[in-house]
Amino acid sequence: MINFADRQATIQVVERLASVGMVIASLESLLRPQTMSDTGLCSWRVHQLVNKWFINRYFQSTIGWFLPYPRVLCLIVIRLVCAATLLVGGAGSEVMRGALTASIVMISFLLTVRSTYGRDGADQMLFLTFTTITVAHAFGSAVARDLALWFLAAQACLSYLTAGVAKLASPIWRSGAALPGIFGTDIYGHAWVRNLLARYPVLVKTGSWSMISFECVFPLALVGVPALTVTLIVAGATFHVATAVFMRLNTFLWAFIATYPAVLYCSGVVRL
Amino acid sequence: MVVDSLQGYLLIGFFGLWFALSVASQLPTQLSQRIQKLDVFNMIPRWNFFAPTPGMYDVNLLFRDRLPDGALTRWREVPRSTPPRFINPVWNPGRRHNKAVFDVTRHLADQSSRYRDTPIQVQLSVPYIAILNFFSNLSRPYQACQTQFLLMQSYDRASTNEPSVIFLSALHAL
């Protein structure tokens, strides 16, 4: 049983859930490094042309020193070790946990500087979560932890609301055409879902409007009605499990459910 | 939560500014575009997943080469990363390469429409060079002296949409 009235315990749960996502993301990058190599789409030899600062001699001898392939893989190994340590609870003191989360933030930041190709919403949310937790650890006060949790909860609500409103404003989503279109692709699609949607057209609009409705109402999780909060959290977790299974968005699951303890804390749900 | 210290006010300012910029960045306004332009380190999130217009197509990477005798090979497609497997809900290492293909293609298409009248600008852009670098380094079972790449979009077999060209490059020396 987790006590979500305890801000320190809540931050630890956020940290561990986000660490699962970070461990998976790091291992995936290490075991499929070709994309980051000099011959891959995220080659640093090419991407340093993005900004004139990146080819500056001072930058190249400092931050830029870490970014060429295969040296950059060492950074990912360090990030993996930091996330794994947080996940298994290997960092006892808050100072140690702060150092580990700060390392994860710095390395994730460097990887974003290196190339934004291939970066997705899960990476954005994990970066935001670890930065927020690092600030909470750095100040170590109750106020810092409270503000960090409120900020995370607010970003979670903003993410769902933005996605929901953007879909609501889109004729493709309102008509239901988006779902069969997405599930028909190789990159995010799924043959079983595509066939199901083709066989039962009623599911197309129902699915589309269910997603729009869920995303638009998610911020109500913060109004302080425990039953509503828990319902939305369960719906959100189910949604992310479904996108992991059918769209293979595996790290989205961990990145987004990592924010749920913050939502529970801010909405006043004490235990789950 | 009672904030009565300098530290508290500083943190409210920090998180408040970050959240305000995040909110402003979600709206389709000029301010949002300005924030994205200044946000070179991608600190400000954008949360409009698959909306308003979702990607309902796949990107196909094709290339052909000019051989030393001047002949052109047929177009060949670079296979996508590992096809979906049952383990993908927890482990999907190919996702980053597939997303990179999608991102670099969209970036190149943007550059192409932006510099419609000055194709040399497109050829000097990062997405163009990144894709050319990728194709130039593919291993070939023959000797080639030039290469050309083609980015296409294709749809589900059930769709009535025909595959279409997103971008066709010039021929470049290998």
The pLDDT tens digits for B21-30 are 999 999 988 9
pLDDT of A35 above 80:
yes
Q: Write the Ramachandran bin of A72: left for phi over 0, alpha for psi from -120 to 50, otherwise beta.
A: alpha
Chains A–B, number of C-beta pairs less than 8 Å apart: 211
Q: What is the DSSP letter of B75?
A: P
Spatial distance between the Cα atoms of B139 and B137, rounded to a whole number of angstroms: 6
Q: Is B79 on the interface with A (CB under 8 A)?
A: no
Q: Note whether B62 and B75 are within 8 A (CB).
A: yes
**Closest of A183, A187, A185, A218 to residue A197, by C-alpha:** A183
Q: What average pLDDT does this structure show over A188-194?
A: 92
- The owner of tokens 């060429």 is A68
Q: Is B40 on the interface with A (CB under 8 A)?
A: yes
The confidence score (pLDDT) of residue A146 equals: 94
Chain A residues with CB-CB distance to B107 below 8 A:
117
CB–CB contact A32 B134 (8 Å): no
* Helix or strand run (H / E) with residue A125: helix A121-139
A187 CA to chain B: closest CA distance, Å? 7
pLDDT of A192 above 60:
yes
Domain positions in chain B are 1-54, 58-173
Mean of the per-residue pLDDT values for chain A? 94
* Cβ-based neighbours of A231, under 8 Å, separated by 6 or more: none
- A185-213 burial, b at 16+ Cβ within 10 Å, e below that, comes to bbbbbbeebbeebeeeeebbeebbeebbe
In this structure, what token pair is assigned to residue B10?
A: 């500083």
In chain B, DSSP assigns E strands to 58-66, 76-78, 146-154, 164-168, 172-173
More confident of the two residues B73 and B5: B73
| pLDDT band per the 50, 70, 90 thresholds, residue B3 | low
| Three-state DSSP state, B66 | strand
The confidence score (pLDDT) of residue A147 equals: 96
The pTM for the full model equals 0.94
B134 CA to chain A: closest CA distance, Å? 5
Q: Note whether A110 and A67 are within 8 A (CB).
A: yes
CB–CB contact B129 A49 (8 Å): yes
The confidence score (pLDDT) of residue A247 equals: 95
Phi, psi of B153 (to 5 degrees): -115, 135
- The owner of tokens 């990179």 is B100
**Closest of A178, A245, A186 to residue A210, by C-alpha:** A178
**Closest of A111, A108, A117 to residue B126, by C-alpha:** A117
- Asked whether this complex has an ipTM greater than 0.85, the answer is yes
Q: What average pLDDT does this structure show over A172-196?
A: 93
The confidence score (pLDDT) of residue B79 equals: 86
The confidence score (pLDDT) of residue B2 equals: 66
Q: Smallest Cβ distance to B11: which of A118, A143, A248? A: A143
Interface test with B, best of A30, A36, A43, A46 (most B CBs within 10 A): A46
A135 CA to chain B: closest CA distance, Å? 9
Mean of the per-residue pLDDT values for chain B? 91
- What percentage of residues in chain A have a pLDDT greater than 70? 98
CB–CB contact A186 B131 (8 Å): no
In A119-183, DSSP assigns E strands to none
Q: Note whether A146 and A132 are within 8 A (CB).
A: no
pLDDT of B71 above 60:
yes
Q: Smallest Cβ distance to A41: which of B2, B90, B100? A: B100
C-alpha Rg value of chain A to the nearest Å: 20
**Closest of B76, B94, B84 to residue B138, by C-alpha:** B76
pLDDT of A272 above 80:
no
pLDDT of B82 above 80:
no
CB–CB contact B11 A244 (8 Å): no
Q: Is B172 on the interface with A (CB under 8 A)?
A: no
Q: Is B41 on the interface with A (CB under 8 A)?
A: yes
B154 CA to chain A: closest CA distance, Å? 9
More confident of the two residues B133 and A268: B133
| pLDDT band per the 50, 70, 90 thresholds, residue B86 | confident
CB–CB contact A181 B54 (8 Å): yes
CB–CB contact A50 B81 (8 Å): no
Residue-wise pLDDT tens digits, B104-162:
999 999 999 999 889 899 999 999 999 999 999 999 999 999 999 999 999 887 778 89
Spatial distance between the Cα atoms of A162 and A203, rounded to a whole number of angstroms: 23
Closest chain B residue by Cα to residue A248: B89
The confidence score (pLDDT) of residue A233 equals: 97
Q: Write the Ramachandran bin of A118: left for phi over 0, alpha for psi from -120 to 50, otherwise beta.
A: left
The confidence score (pLDDT) of residue B83 equals: 66
